[in-house]
Structure 1
Amino acid sequence: MINAREHGLTGDGVVNDQPALQRLVDACRPGDVIYCPAGTYAIQDAGTIWRTGVSLIGDGPAATRFVLGNPGAPQTPVPLAFWTTLQHGASAQRPIADVTFAGFEIDGIQVRLPGYDVLAKGLGLQYVLRGTFRDLYIHDTPATGFGCDFLQDSTVERVVAIRCGRLDSGWEKGGAGIGIGVGGWGAVERLTVTECVALANGTNGIFVELQDAAWTPPRGIRITGCHAEGNKYGISDWGADGLLVSGCMMIGNRTAGFDVSGQGTTHIAGRYGVITGCVVDDNPGDGMSIGNTPGGYTVSASRISRNGGHGYRQHNLPGAIRIPAADMVLDGNDIWDNAGDGIRIDGALIDPFLVNNRIRGNGTVESPAAGITVNARVISATLRNQRIWDRHSPPTQPVAVKVTEHGELADPVYLDPD
């Protein structure tokens, strides 16, 4: 344990502590832990190039603060710590291994740039092996707050990311609260993101994104017990295989609460994920928006309610895969009081299973809706044990199942007798 105050850092919020931090990191050996006692550490004009085996801990986000800034280098992004493929040669053979970042705050409000720069993160490490990130408060960074890629055997827990991506127009790379690039370790990346909060960030609250279209979408990623609110998208899967999202709150996000699509840099959507036990509520757009995927997604035991668009919408965005999605499952969900249809199918499906859902009171008096609307070709669907009803007066959901002139339920179709 190395006390940073005894090695040149002042923590007074005035002196630029970045040169002293870089010297200390460079002098450390694998296994050393840099301890920054309570104080405000100014990190200015350069990011700190990190080393494998070196950890950084503080006395907690309310006590140990790193304030990023670039008063002497107005064109330079300033992450607290970074180690990247392009800048430093990071790879699976040259990872950052056996590190812990815990118990401090990163404030990016003083980083001023002429435009968006993807490197203007709070933390920007790539190829991390056995990393632990916990009890961090990251806010007001120009780009993604926690923007670390390729995390193997790693845990991200109790990270609070607020107002990150403040220079993102909404269409830049990154700009999220917690953004994690995946695929660099091969077919399996063992990563857990748990008990995090992402609030009012530029693009996604939390997202995972395949970084090379030629790579295999990885399995092994879990997002559990997180809260995403007030972002453009709450939680997004842009290229994982079998992503597990459980026990999460996705509330008040501007475009969608949960998103699967080809909007990532490689235009590869996630597939075969599992969403269970989540609350997707009060998003001004759709609650759940899924498309550009080969299929296999399961959405179960979740509340999808009071969204400004459809509760669940299957559709494909242009510029990415648009083949029919196979084996989609909606099972045992509560879908109610959404302004559009409860379930809206605007993208072709093969062998979908819509079973045991409770769909009530969707639509508005001005724009009545259906419980389920089929607006695309659906082959071999199973629709069974749905409870579709409306208690509103006047009714807002007058139709249980609607097939539009552009929709089709092709044989064989398994429906409830009524």
Structure 2
Amino acid sequence: MRHQFGGSPADYAAERVGNQLLLRPGATGTAWTARTGGTQITDLTDLAGTPIAGLTADSDGAVAFMGPDNDTTSLYVDFGYGRRYCLTAVDTGVRLAEFIESGGAPGGWAQLDETGTIDPGQLPAQLDWIVASTHGAKGDGATDDTIALQNAINACAPGGVVYLPRGVYRTTATLDLKNGVSLVGSHANMMVGPGMTDADYPCYIQPTAPFTGGSVIEIIGEDDGQHPAISGEQRLVNLMLDGSQLTGSSIDGVFAKGNVQNVVMDNFTVRQMPNNGLVTGEAGGIFPYSWRLRHVMIDNCHANGILFTGNTDLTLDDVQVIGCWAQGIVLTNCTNTQLIGCRTEWNGSHGYHITGAWGDWQGSGGMQMTSCSTDRNGQHGILIDATGNTPITLSNINTRRDGRNGGAGGGQYAGLAVIGATVPVVADVISCYPGVDDAGGSTNSPQYGARLSGSTTVVLGSATLHAASAGLFDDGTNGSVSLGDGVLTTVGATTSTARRTRPRPGGDLGIYAPSGWGRFWRAKREAAGSGLARIVTLGGSATQGMYASNPRTKSWPGQLATTLQGVYGDGGSGLQQTSLSSTILASGDAAALAAWTTAGAVVTQTGTWSQGGSKYGPGVNYLYSETTGSTLTFKARGTSVKIYTVIGGSTRAPMLYSIDGGADVTVTQPAGTAAIQVTTVTGLSNTTHTVVVKVGTATAGQYVSVCGVSGENATGVVVHNLALAGARSETFGNNATTALNATWNGGVDFPGDLVIYTAGPNDAAANTTGDAWVANVAKWMKAVKDTGAAVGDCDIILALPHLGTHDVTNFKYQDYAIRGRALAEAYGCAFVDWWTIGRNSWQYWNSLGYWGTNAGTGAAGTDSVHLSDAGFAAMADVLLPLVAG
């Protein structure tokens, strides 16, 4: 367009002479694009439209012409008098008036009306947007806008925008989103928070019944006669889908299938759909590809939040799924995927589920999950059970209060669960923190911080795992589990601060736990709510509890029992054996005996009792008496009580027992070969019972021989401490089926799901060779694993107590340590060496107050090998990550 220049009173050719400007009629000049330099303008015409070569002033010196045909409104003229002067087109004012006049008119510039809004009819001309209302959509929450919205979508060319102004758009059938169309709303209600109502933010598509179709919006990439073979580039922005008015259970929010590429959802919300929030599937074996979800909320859908299958090259960024009735985010074979800053909360099942066959073909890949979190999901916070060979990598993950299980907790649920996965799972900077609901209801959950089961390869770098039952639960069925140095575990309520380092397969200092160890014990421990999980501990005085303030509760077996029973249930007191009796303790530990008697830890007695000379029964010792009326009094907690007595070839006096002051019950002691008789009393209350064992009418040589009394419940964890002061490896070593020692000490006749064997210091003091020591231990292991009906279904921890200064002559202990580690590898046992952990230094543990004294039980002392309460606690702390983790 050309604009007119000149013709105004100011537009003359003039020359400055002195202080005067003199008009120059007929002067010739040129037009330029700039005051200096620039380009000469030659595309000029006179007012009649005839091209002119240059500018010529008329007879009055006036200038008038038409500018170039490029909408130029200003230029510079030069009449050869030493400078250029700017000319402005004289028709600018007219055009400005015309433009102003077009404001608010169709095709004119957009103008706010009296309500402060813009007439939607003006927007397409300015922004290339199709406004839904121009196709008849009302957005009033009452009118069925389905056809109007679909017409707007159909009218939109690829790359265009269908805009939904503020309103509630009722639909009754699926909207088919075309290739390349952006569906843009005015606002996405991420959630309706406290104090807010739907009416406050009427900005959404609201499908209502009766509804035709399987989803509110569909995106199809399939050559089915209605859709293209390849579809893509759809956008859902600033938009919400509200399914609160729908009935039934089969309508999804968004459904896509086939070759649908490069879909973007941004500031997008789907809530209260009768089925899933977002779903994808295949068409002709082809799946959606390269989707991007940013700032997306899926809220209270009645099945899964996000159910994506085969979406390769997927990115989820700040995606939150909350309150869905089934799973939060389910990714099935979504290779080369990234999750960044996502959150799943309060979903009925798993928060995230990484599943399906992820494959190992060329071009396939795993996924990365970074800075994501969970909270109060009903089952696992994150469950990975995918198969294939592509690594799944997790970093900076925070799980919280998952495994609600309907408020009951338990259920073997975990913050992070890797179960049956063949894909390598690599996790680093992982945290789990338990808790109850905000209002204080429900049971502390999850049960585990991380649960590993039946998986091929799991690498756990650094983690802080705090959970109700165990921070880390590895059931021993995994192929390879690699733990980093920074795996800390904590058990119990949120207030618990007893953090422990989880021993790594291959060995922390003084600890060896082969990959797969513990599977039998952990399975029984986890089932302790419906059955009994049994631990048997064997060894010398360092296991029996000398010189703890109470050998039954403050020894390391007693402290293990307290911790485990607090988490998995009270299985009873376990065996109180006759080794804790005045007959056995009085000779060398009179001061300790007095303290333990006051503490109620010892077996009290009347009459005449002697210590048996054979290694019979549980605890490999017994007391016998042939004096009528002699008694032994035991304490046993549980709903059943078992009394263990030795019978032999000669005639035996009857054994009488009474419980809690009741009448004596007579039990015949049959004659025959040596054997252990077990008298079981059931139907008791779950309290601590006083059990009195009495010698019936007897004559010389008619003995009642008693090993001990056990209290047990039907469920929970029970710890039987069968240790004996002075015990050596040979004490428990006879595995012959005719013997009554090994088979009754963790073997088939008194089995444990976990057996912890600690003999060693007394062997060193007695100068037992390494060959003899390892042979004795191996015999006992044979009894436990494969004698009689034993099928190897128990776990063993072989442990060496701190030697202290118990052997300063023979120096055999290092040989036991070498042989013990080899035994552990040969038998698949765990191995704990407190001597190494204690720096092989009596002085070191002495500086920590770990050694005890019989003159002040429980307190720090200077004993050569026996411990204080603090020393026993230190031993328990080493074992707990193995036993409770």
Bin for the TM-score computed over the shorter chain: 0.7 to 0.9
What secondary structure does 1:348 align onto? Answer: coil
Matched, 1:356 2:485: yes
**Counterpart of 2:382?**
258
Q: Which letter maps to 2:313? A: R
Q: CA deviation at 1:54?
A: 1.4
Aligned length: 360
Q: How far, CA to CA, are the matches of 2:385 and 2:452 in structure 1?
A: 10
**Counterpart of 1:225?**
341
Q: Which letter maps to 1:132? A: V
Matched, 1:297 2:425: yes
Q: How far, CA to CA, are the matches of 1:224 and 1:413 in structure 2?
A: 41
Aligned 1:128-147 pairs, distance under 5 A: 128-147=260-279
Q: Which letter maps to 2:393? A: V
Q: How far, CA to CA, are the matches of 1:283 and 1:256 in structure 2?
A: 6
Q: Deviations over 1:255-305 (max 9, x none)?
A: 11001126xxxxx58952011101111113321111221141011101122
Aligned 1:172-187 pairs, distance under 5 A: 175-182=303-310
Q: How far, CA to CA, are the matches of 2:451 and 2:510 in structure 1?
A: 17
Q: How far, CA to CA, are the matches of 1:7 and 1:386 in structure 2?
A: 78
Q: 163, 185, 196: which is aligned to 2:319?
A: 196
Matched, 1:153 2:285: no
Q: CA deviation at 1:382?
A: 4.0
What secondary structure does 2:233 align onto? Answer: strand
Aligned 1:34-183 pairs, distance under 5 A: 34-44=162-172, 46-61=173-188, 62-71=201-210, 73=211, 76-77=212-213, 79-84=215-220, 94-113=229-248, 116-117=249-250, 120-126=251-257, 127-149=259-281, 150-164=287-301, 166=302, 175-182=303-310
What secondary structure does 2:153 align onto? Answer: helix
Distance 1:42 1:269, change over 3 A: farther
Q: Which letter maps to 1:194? A: D
Q: CA deviation at 1:383?
A: 5.2
> For structure 2, which runs of at least 5 residues remain unmatched after alignment?
1-128, 189-200, 282-286, 359-364, 404-412, 435-444, 512-558, 568-752, 756-792, 797-823, 838-885
> For structure 1, which runs of at least 5 residues remain unmatched after alignment?
167-174, 184-188, 211-216, 263-267, 317-323, 375-379
Conserved 8 A contact 1:227-1:248 = yes
Aligned 1:19-30 pairs, distance under 5 A: 19-30=147-158
What secondary structure does 2:351 align onto? Answer: strand
Q: 280, 295, 310: which is aligned to 2:399?
A: 280
Higher helix share: 2
Conserved 8 A contact 2:385-2:422 = no
Matched, 1:236 2:362: no
Q: CA deviation at 1:156?
A: 0.4
Distance 1:346 1:8, change over 3 A: same
Q: Which letter maps to 1:66? A: I
Q: Which letter maps to 1:202? A: W
Distance 1:77 1:70, change over 3 A: farther
Q: CA deviation at 1:13?
A: 0.8
Distance 1:55 1:385, change over 3 A: farther
Q: 470, 477, 481: which is aligned to 1:341?
A: 470
CA RMSD of aligned residues (A): 3.8
Q: Rg larger in 1 or in 2?
A: 2
Q: CA deviation at 1:38?
A: 0.7
Distance 1:85 1:128, change over 3 A: closer
Conserved 8 A contact 1:59-1:103 = yes
Q: How far, CA to CA, are the matches of 1:315 and 1:94 in structure 2?
A: 43
Q: CA deviation at 1:334?
A: 0.6
What secondary structure does 2:256 align onto? Answer: strand
Distance 1:102 1:360, change over 3 A: same
Q: Which letter maps to 1:152? A: Y
RCO (CA 8 Å, sep 6+): is it higher in 1 or 2? 1
Distance 1:370 1:89, change over 3 A: farther
Q: Which letter maps to 1:346? A: D
Q: Which letter maps to 2:400? A: D
Q: Which letter maps to 2:236? A: F
Q: How far, CA to CA, are the matches of 1:248 and 1:205 in structure 2?
A: 13
Aligned 1:378-397 pairs, distance under 5 A: 381-382=505-506, 384=508, 395=563
Q: Which letter maps to 2:137? A: L
Q: CA deviation at 1:373?
A: 9.6
Q: CA deviation at 1:157?
A: 0.8
**Counterpart of 2:630?**
none
Q: How far, CA to CA, are the matches of 1:192 and 1:226 in structure 2?
A: 11
Q: Percent identity?
A: 19
**Counterpart of 1:310?**
448
- TM-score using structure 2 length: 0.37
**Counterpart of 1:320?**
none
Q: CA deviation at 1:78?
A: 5.0
Q: How far, CA to CA, are the matches of 1:382 and 1:244 in structure 2?
A: 28
Higher strand share: 1
